[in-house]
């Protein structure tokens, strides 16, 4: 005699395929969220990505996108599961089982499925991180690549686990509350059409995406430059039109499509109707996939933009080596470097060395007043390195004219990165005698090689001699450049770097943004200079191979062959983190798209069966399947990639009001990367279509 429990088990076995899909969706979502949060909380990553820096903000922003996508994905998977489960429940109800009797078994089954799949996903997240991280280490490795994990990341996984299990149990209870048995049994065939809108929907959606991107980006800029106010976090709501526009684009895709049907109104009618009748599911899937693909593109763009800029900068250098140092340091000169090079069978050429002065500069500075600020002129705002006109001409080989009483700032040719240069100074100060020299900004001299985060300036020869009187060696320095006669040696470049580092005293163990003039002024005002607090990045001579040291040491030399060879090692953690982000978001997107394609088959199998009975050929059915699967993959990829590419170009332009040659090169490589990723999506699409056809024809 068959009991209620045995009947439940029989029905569960009949719909095991749908249960497996639900388990898989939960497993993948928890795996991706756990893996991402494990990386985000990893001390290895947090040590390299500076607190408050753009890279860390980008990492968190994309995590929010991934979290949003996975939440929607699991809710969608739960809904699909219960639409199939409704048939089981309706059958049992028709046989006389009450909702009260079914509730314990249903909740137990749902809780077990949700909990087990989610816990397995959480556990699998850590091996997934380990495999990806160590795979990248096969390409490049450094001391900073030793992966350490902070299990605080499990807090996020736990919250997501509660969301998944709680929502599933709530869904189970909601379905059992229904009283109409026929409605429950036919739940899986219920359509979810969306309200049709005119063909204006798509163009307006594109306009909202573009307008929202510009509005969201320019809002904080206007807030800062016009209102003298620090933009609050809530101002990011200005990006809201982007999501509304994305929804309208997806809605237009489902309801109207992007091709005119005046000539062939019945072309692809079946595929279009199927998509339209399940519009809510389709639109939600397209929207989530688009957001994830956009996040993936944003993450992957970091690699080519950073790499191309660095490679082109290194290639354009006029000298193989550059270094500078304070005059009170015992640093190798031309003879010592020549002797070191001789040990490697090398000879140096074009050695040039010129002095510079470190002077105090006044200037206009932002003074915080709560969330707002105002501008004040500071008598000692910052420290600047000043070359004489003769020194500039000797090291660059270029003639320059600096008028008496003026100073010029050395910029790159494109005049980008001017943030580090002071153009409002009216007084230069000798920091030993405190003799002052009235001055005016005389414009920019252009020499890319001397452009760095400290900045160089040029004075008229007479002014240089006047302000230099009485200055101690602590506030004077030397800048040197040289080439290698013939083919350079990586071993020599390493030896030179380590020799140079070991020559500096502890007083020079400072990051590039440690400003001695600002420190003096703050101390005189009875304040603690922020550089003497824990907020400033600390560097150490004992760790010269870390990314912090290579990026931020105040006296970091430039070596063409060393910088080129060790680029991956220096920025390994940066590159790995953003590559990881791109992989996570892309995986989530293609899994959602593939799952959607499989549910199209499961939900519409009866439609395809009817078509076969009506005499439709396999080729015709395959064409209809492609008509369903194509937009699921194509539209999110096109919209997500295009929107993020344009947004990234906007960000590049917004940084300094122009797009430089290096940035154009980076954007060109980004375009090639997108084509490569599009190829991967196409292969997944082909695989999905193949499996859909197998489901129909078997």
Kindly report the three-state secondary structure assignment for every residue of 16-40.
HHHHHHHHHHHHHHHHHHHHHHHHH
How many Å apart are CA 578 and CA 300, to the nearest integer? 6
Is the model's pLDDT at 550 over the cut of 90? Answer: no
Percentages of the chain per state (helix, strand, coil), in multiples of 5:
65, 10, 25
Percentage of residues in the chain having pLDDT higher than 90: 26
Same domain, 587 and 444: no
Average of per-residue pLDDT across 546-567: 87
Same-domain pairing of 278 and 413: no
Q: Give SS3 for 355.
A: strand
pLDDT of residue 574: 72
Whole-number Cα distances in Å, 616 to 112, 262, 424:
42, 25, 77
What pLDDT, on a 0 to 100 scale, did the predictor assign at position 50? 63
Burial class (CB in 10 A: 0-12, 13-18, 19+), 290: buried
Q: Please report, to the nearest 10 degrees, the dihedral formed by the alpha carbons of residues 650, 652, 653, 654 taken in order.
A: 80
Which residues have CB under 8 Å from 540's CB, separation 6+? Answer: 509, 549
Looking at 143, 167, 190, the residue that finishes a domain is: 190
Query: Is 165 part of a structural domain of the chain?
Result: yes
| pLDDT above 80 (res 100) | no
- Give the three-state DSSP class for 98: coil
Rounded to the nearest integer, the mean pLDDT of the chain is: 81
Q: Which residue has the higher pLDDT, 248 or 522?
A: 522
Task: Spell out the long-range contacts of 559-562 with Cβ–Cβ below 8 A and sequence spacing 24 or more.
Answer: 559/320, 559/321, 559/493, 559/496, 559/497, 560/314, 560/317, 560/319, 560/320, 560/321, 560/488, 561/320, 561/488, 561/489, 561/490, 561/493, 562/490, 562/493, 562/494, 562/497
Q: Which two tokens stand for residue 554?
A: 């105040």
- Provide CB contacts within 8 A for 685, sequence distance 6+: 593, 629, 630, 633, 634
Residue 51 scores a pLDDT above 90: no
**Model pLDDT, residue 370:** 76
pLDDT tens across 260-280, in order? 665 555 555 565 566 665 556
- State which residues form the domain around 304: 267-318+560-698
pLDDT at 193 over 60: no
Rounded to the nearest 5 degrees, what angle is found at the Cα of 181, between the Cα atoms of 179 and 182? 130
Does residue 469 lie within any of the structural domains?
yes
Q: How confident is the model at residue 209 (pLDDT cuts 50, 70, 90)?
A: confident
Q: pLDDT at position 566, please?
A: 79
**Dihedral, CA atoms, 293, 294, 295, 297, nearest 10 degrees?**
90
**Shared-domain flag, residues 344 and 241:** no
How does pLDDT run across 589-603, given as a tens digit for each residue? 888 888 778 777 766
Question: What φ, ψ does residue 476 adopt, rounded to 5°?
Answer: -125, 165
Prediction pTM value: 0.76
321 Cβ partners below 8 Å, 6+ apart?
Answer: 481, 482, 483, 484, 493, 496, 557, 558, 559, 560
Q: Are 512 and 573 in a shared domain?
A: no
At residue 179, does pLDDT exceed 50? Answer: no
**456-459 vs 372-388, strand pairing mode:** parallel
Pull the structure tokens for residue 331: 């640093």
Predicted local confidence at residue 312, as pLDDT: 86
> How far from each other are the two terminal CA atoms of the chain, in whole angstroms?
34
% of the chain surpassing 70 pLDDT: 81
pLDDT of residue 442: 92
Domain boundary among 208, 227, 255: 255
**Are 29 and 121 a contacting pair, CB within 8 Å?**
yes
| Residues in CB range of 126: below 8 A, 6 or more apart | 34, 35, 38, 149
* In a shared domain, residues 336 and 471: yes
Between 118 and 656, residue with greater pLDDT: 118
Q: Which of 190, 205, 232 is the last residue of a domain?
A: 190
Rg of the chain over Cα atoms, rounded to whole angstroms, equals 32
What does the alpha-carbon distance between residue 336 and residue 334 come to, in Å, rounded to a whole number?
6
Which carries the bigger pLDDT value, residue 576 or residue 89? 576
Quick one: 89 exposed, middle or buried, by C-beta within 10 A (0-12, 13-18, 19+)?
Answer: buried
Look at residue 281 in the predicted model and tell me its pLDDT. Answer: 67
Distance between CA 310 and CA 302 in Å, rounded?
Answer: 12
* Residues 91, 437: Cα–Cα separation, whole Å: 93
Assigned domain for 547 exists: no
Residues 80 and 604: their CA atoms lie apart, in Å, by 13
* Residues 356, 475: Cα–Cα separation, whole Å: 9
Indicate the number of domains in the chain.
Answer: 4
Domain contains 40: yes
Q: Which whole number is the average pLDDT over 605-625?
A: 76
Calpha distance 190→483 (Å, rounded): 75
Which among 20-29, 53-62, 539-548 has the top mean pLDDT? 539-548
Residues 141 and 208 in one domain: no
Same domain, 374 and 479: yes
For the ranges 15-24, 480-489, 671-680, which has the lowest average pLDDT?
15-24
Give the Cα-Cα-Cα angle 108, 168, 39 (nearest 5 degrees).
Answer: 110
Query: Could you give the residue ranges of the DSSP H alpha helices within 614-660?
Result: 618-656
State the helix-helix crossing angle for 269-277 and 279-315, rounded to 10 degrees: 100
Task: Judge if 309 and 407 occupy the same domain.
Answer: no
**CA 257 to chain CA centroid, nearest Å:** 32
Going by pLDDT thresholds of 50, 70 and 90, the confidence category of residue 503 is: very high
Residues 249 and 272 both lie in one domain: no
Highest mean pLDDT among 219-233, 601-615, 661-675: 661-675
Residue 308, pLDDT above cutoff 90 = no
Characterize 315-334 residue by residue with b for buried, 16 or more Cβ atoms within 10 angstroms of its Cβ, and e for exposed: eebebbbbbbbbbebebbee
Q: Would residue 319 be called left, alpha or beta, if left means φ above 0 and alpha means ψ between -120 and 50 degrees?
A: beta
Residue 553 lies in a domain: no
Query: Which sign, positive or negative, has the C-alpha torsion 256, 259, 261, 267?
Result: negative
The encoded tokens of residue 622 equal 């395959």
What is the rounded distance in angstroms from the CA atom of residue 425 to the CA atom of residue 411? 16
Mean pLDDT value of segment 565-587: 77
Q: What is the structure's pLDDT at 596?
A: 79
CA dihedral 495, 497, 500, 506 (to 10 degrees): -120
Co-location of 522 and 597 in the same domain: no
How far is 202 from 249, CA to CA, in rounded Å? 5
- CA angle (180 as vertex; 176, 182 as ends), nearest 5: 110
pLDDT band at 38 (very low <50, low <70, confident <90, very high): confident
Over range 368-385, report the average pLDDT: 87
Say yes or no: 374 and 329 in one domain: yes
pLDDT of residue 335: 92
Please enumerate, as own/partner, the contacts of 178-181 that have beta carbons within 8 Å and a separation of 24 or more: 181/90, 181/93, 181/94
User: What value does the mean pLDDT take over residues 136-153?
Assistant: 70
Report yes or no on 167 lying in a domain: yes
Position 555 confidence tier, pLDDT thresholds 50, 70, 90: very high
Q: Which of 83-87, 213-217, 598-602 has the highest mean pLDDT?
A: 213-217
Residue 500 placed within a domain:
no
50 and 135 share a domain? yes
Q: Is residue 63 part of a domain?
A: yes
pLDDT of 170: 78
């Amino acid at each position: 005699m068959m009991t209620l429990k045995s009947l439940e088990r029989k029905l569960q076995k009949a719909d095991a395929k749908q249960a497996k899909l639900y388990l898989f969706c939960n497993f993948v979502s928890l795996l991706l969220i756990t893996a991402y949060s494990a990386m985000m909380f990893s001390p290895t990553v947090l040590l390299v990505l500076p607190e408050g820096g753009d890279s860390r903000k980008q990492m968190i922003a994309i995590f929010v996108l991934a979290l949003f996508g996975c939440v929607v994905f699991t809710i969608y998977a739960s809904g699909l599961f219960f639409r199939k489960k409704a048939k089981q429940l309706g059958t049992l109800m028709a046989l006389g089982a009450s909702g009260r009797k079914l509730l314990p078994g249903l909740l137990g089954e749902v809780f077990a499925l949700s909990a087990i799949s989610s816990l397995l996903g959480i556990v699998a997240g850590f091996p997934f991180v380990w495999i990806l991280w160590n795979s990248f280490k096969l390409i490049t490795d450094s001391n900073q690549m030793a992966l350490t994990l902070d299990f605080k990341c499990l807090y996020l996984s736990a919250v997501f686990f509660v969301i998944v299990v709680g929502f599933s149990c709530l869904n189970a209870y909601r379905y059992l509350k229904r009283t109409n048995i026929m409605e429950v049994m036919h739940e899986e065939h219920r359509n979810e059409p969306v309200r049709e809108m005119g063909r204006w929907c798509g163009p307006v959606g594109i306009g909202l995406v573009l307008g929202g991107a510009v509005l969201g980006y320019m809002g904080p800029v206007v807030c800062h430059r016009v209102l003298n106010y620090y933009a609050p976090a809530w101002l990011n709501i200005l990006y809201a039109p982007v999501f509304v526009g994305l929804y309208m684009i997806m809605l237009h895709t489902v309801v109207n499509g992007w091709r005119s049907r005046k000539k062939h109104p019945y072309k692809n009618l079946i595929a279009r109707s199927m998509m339209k009748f399940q519009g809510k599911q389709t639109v939600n899937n397209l929207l989530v996939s688009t957001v994830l693909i956009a996040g993936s593109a944003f993450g992957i763009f970091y690699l080519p933009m950073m790499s191309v800029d660095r490679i082109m900068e290194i290639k354009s250098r006029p000298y193989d080596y550059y270094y500078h140092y304070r005059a009170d340091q015992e640093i190798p000169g031309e003879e010592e470097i020549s002797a070191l090079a001789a040990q490697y069978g090398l000879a140096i050429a074009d050695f040039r060395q010129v002095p510079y002065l470190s002077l105090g500069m006044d200037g206009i500075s932002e003074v915080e007043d709560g969330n707002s600020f105002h501008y004040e002129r500071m008598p000692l705002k910052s420290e600047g390195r000043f070359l004489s006109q003769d020194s500039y001409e000797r090291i660059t080989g270029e003639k320059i004219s600096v008028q008496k009483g003026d100073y010029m700032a050395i910029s790159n040719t494109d005049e980008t990165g001017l943030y580090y240069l002071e153009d409002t100074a009216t007084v230069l100060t000798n920091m030993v005698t405190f003799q002052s020299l009235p001055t005016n900004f005389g414009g920019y001299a252009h020499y890319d090689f001397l452009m760095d985060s400290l900045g160089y300036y040029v004075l008229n020869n007479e002014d240089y001699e006047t302000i230099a009187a009485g200055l101690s060696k602590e506030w004077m320095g030397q800048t040197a450049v040289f080439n290698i006669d013939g083919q350079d040696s990586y071993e020599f470049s390493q030896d030179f770097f380590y020799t140079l580092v070991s020559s500096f005293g502890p007083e020079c163990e400072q990051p590039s943004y440690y400003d001695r003039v600002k420190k003096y002024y703050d101390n005189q005002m009875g304040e603690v200079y922020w550089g003497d607090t824990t907020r400033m990045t600390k560097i150490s001579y004992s760790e010269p191979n870390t990314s912090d040291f290579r990026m931020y040491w105040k006296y970091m030399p430039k070596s063409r062959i060393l910088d080129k060879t060790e680029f991956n090692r220096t920025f390994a953690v940066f590159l790995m983190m953003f590559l990881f982000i791109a992989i996570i978001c892309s995986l989530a997107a293609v899994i959602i798209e593939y799952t959607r394609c499989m549910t199209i088959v499961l939900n519409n199998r009866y439609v395809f069966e009817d078509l076969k009975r009506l005499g439709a050929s396999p080729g015709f059915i395959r064409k209809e399947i492609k008509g369903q699967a194509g937009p699921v993959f194509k539209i999110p990829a096109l919209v997500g990639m295009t929107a993020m590419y344009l947004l990234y170009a906007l960000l590049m332009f917004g940084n300094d009001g122009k797009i430089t040659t290096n940035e154009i090169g980076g954007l060109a490589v980004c375009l090639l990367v997108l084509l490569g990723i599009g190829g991967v999506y196409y292969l997944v699409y082909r695989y999905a279509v193949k499996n859909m056809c197998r489901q129909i024809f078997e």
